[in-house]
Structure 1
Amino acid sequence: MTTRTVLAGRINFDNAALKKDLAVLAGVPIIKEQYDEFSSGTWINHSIYNRTGEWSDTQYTDYDHPARRTQIGQATPYLCKIIEETFDVEHMRMARVRNLIKGQVIPHVDFLELSEKKDGYIRILIPLETCLDSYHTEEHFGVFRMRKGDIWILESTLPHGAHNLGHDNRRILSLDFQYTDEDVPHYSRIFRDKAAHDESHRPAMVARAKLEEEDLEDFLAMLATDFTDPFQAEAILVRLSELQLRFDSPVSDIYRNIVRVAKMTGRADLIEHCENMSRFYIGSRKLNERFMLRKDLLAA
């Protein structure tokens, strides 16, 4: 797998120009997100380039032509300039600005619902506006902070997630590329400006403590005590995810542990719900499949 998680470069933004575009985004109406079940808290996505060129189209799908600039892209010229001068837009399939406030992106694996050729997908994340209370997690890489301007190649076919524990904006530019002309394209192909590819920058890693099994067992038993409704699983998942920020364990342990919590209740419906949750987020899912994580999604 050539698209390992790596800090691959850094962009030095023109802060005045960036601020103007961020102000435009702040004024865009918030619409229902295609992937609501992948977030807890406030998670706002704005499509700058996508398949159709319509700003309200938030779904990522397979297609074989360059992404089209949306109405939001037309209104954010500096961001588009950065994208088009720095990256291989011929193979770019989506560009979004994603704002996470006091919430988390549910730990998950990307592209499960797309084609089988996973090595052809490359996702990068570039913070535009960040805060000291925001973190990212990845199964093998651990817990780290993305700093403003960092160009992160994300191994999104491994379990990963994101957190903002504060109330400040955490805006990240997310770019998706698709290569079908070779079996395992190297992530360096995304750079139009080869000088932007610089892996000498050191990532901001987060040190974590060892979690003793007996302490974990006590914590899971406490969570099981009040677990009586499937829709409480979201709150339990959030607590397990935040635990993983402080204690050394892979992202997939979050789902193993929530199934353990369900089994402690002895309730077959809760066990089935948590096992289905694990499958949907990090196992397998179909295109347009939904998971009813919260009651507010029932009307979706």
Structure 2
Amino acid sequence: MLKAQRLAVLPIDSYDLDSEFSIVDDHEYGGEYDAFTFGSWSAHVLANGSGADSDTSFRPHDGRMALTELGKKLPGIMSLVTEHFPLDRLQWVRIFRASDAILAPHVDFLEWEEPGTRLQIPLRTSPDSLHSENDVVYHLRRGEVWKIHTTDPHSTRSSAETARLSLCLDFSGADEPIEIRKDIPATEPISIVERPEATEAELEELLGADGNLTPESMRSDFRRFAEFHFERRSHAAMTYDWYEEAARRTGDADMVAKARVFRTYCIEKRADGEAFHW
């Protein structure tokens, strides 16, 4: 059962955003979330608590949001935000860019006592861009407003040639609903992606019975475990079970320990400001 919710559909075609997409495509990313990400994935801050371009690591804050220099260059995208969403609880406005990229399955807001509300609205996407939550894989269409269920393991993958751009809005408070204005009727059913069951042979190939996982390849090899979750019916957290089992088969206790620490960091427990180092 999918816990994420499609809240609305925005009339995104009424906004001329292509020139602003080019600005985002060319904008530099500082790599704050590299431990979680594989391939070309980046986060670009349009508004935060300080208005500083250098303030890029998400955290809750008190008070109103302020535009960054990037946000000031994207008036069309910011109009989409201000015309359809309330601003009193809105804390962060970001765009996630993904091209041939995947995120490690993760749980958001582990660092803080109270989770917020995270909405995502794809601005540029294709059917090759997918989200997952627990054992469900689904596609967010352009202009759909989704409340992401952030406290269960979830992930995203984009294998499209053109980079996916997704608007991410973070609001304070997890329980109070977000009032969305000027939306349009949803005309298509939610897009759930069916995946076949994994065969024993496929699992053996994934786990690397020949011991091809090494300390040097642990980071790059994790991607194939995350990819497998999108290709075969499985729970997102199984990614870490497979990864740890592959490490165990090498007989290297340090690799097993690192696999366990990465699981903890991504989906179980993470301190504010804590970083994982490959």
Q: What TM-score range do you get, normalising by the shorter chain?
A: over 0.9
Unaligned runs of 5+ in 1: 294-300
1:126 equivalenced with 2:126 (yes/no): no
CA contact under 8 A between 1:46 and 1:55: conserved in structure 2?
Answer: no
Unaligned runs of 5+ in 2: none
Change (3 A) 1:201 1:67: farther
Which whole-Å deviations, capped at 9, do the CAs of 1:152-172 have from their partners, x for residues lacking one?
Answer: 110011111111123311000
CA contact under 8 A between 1:9 and 1:196: conserved in structure 2?
Answer: yes
**RMSD, aligned CA:** 2.1
TM-score norm. by structure 1 comes to: 0.86
Match of 2:119, SS state, is strand
TM-score norm. by structure 2 comes to: 0.92
1:170 equivalenced with 2:161 (yes/no): no
1:16: Cα distance to partner?
A: 5.9
The equivalent position to 1:108 in structure 2, one of 95, 106, 109, is 106
Alignment size in residue pairs:
277
1:26 equivalenced with 2:13 (yes/no): no
Change (3 A) 1:245 1:168: same
CA contact under 8 A between 1:7 and 1:202: conserved in structure 2?
Answer: no
Match of 2:163, SS state, is coil
Which whole-Å deviations, capped at 9, do the CAs of 1:126-176 have from their partners, x for residues lacking one?
Answer: 111112321111115x11111111111100111111111233110000111
1:1-300 to structure 2, matched below 5 A, reads 4-14=3-13, 17-28=16-27, 30-114=28-112, 116-118=113-115, 121-140=116-135, 142-179=136-173, 185-186=175-176, 189-193=177-181, 195-196=182-183, 201-212=188-199, 214-215=200-201, 217-222=203-208, 225-229=211-215, 231-293=216-278
The 1-side partners of 2:210 and 2:271 are apart by 30
Paired residue type of 1:20: S
Change (3 A) 1:208 1:70: same
Percentage identity across aligned positions?
A: 25
Greater helix fraction, Structure 1 or Structure 2: 1
Which whole-Å deviations, capped at 9, do the CAs of 1:76-135 have from their partners, x for residues lacking one?
Answer: 111111111111211011110111011112211111112x123xx110111111123211
Match of 2:105, SS state, is strand
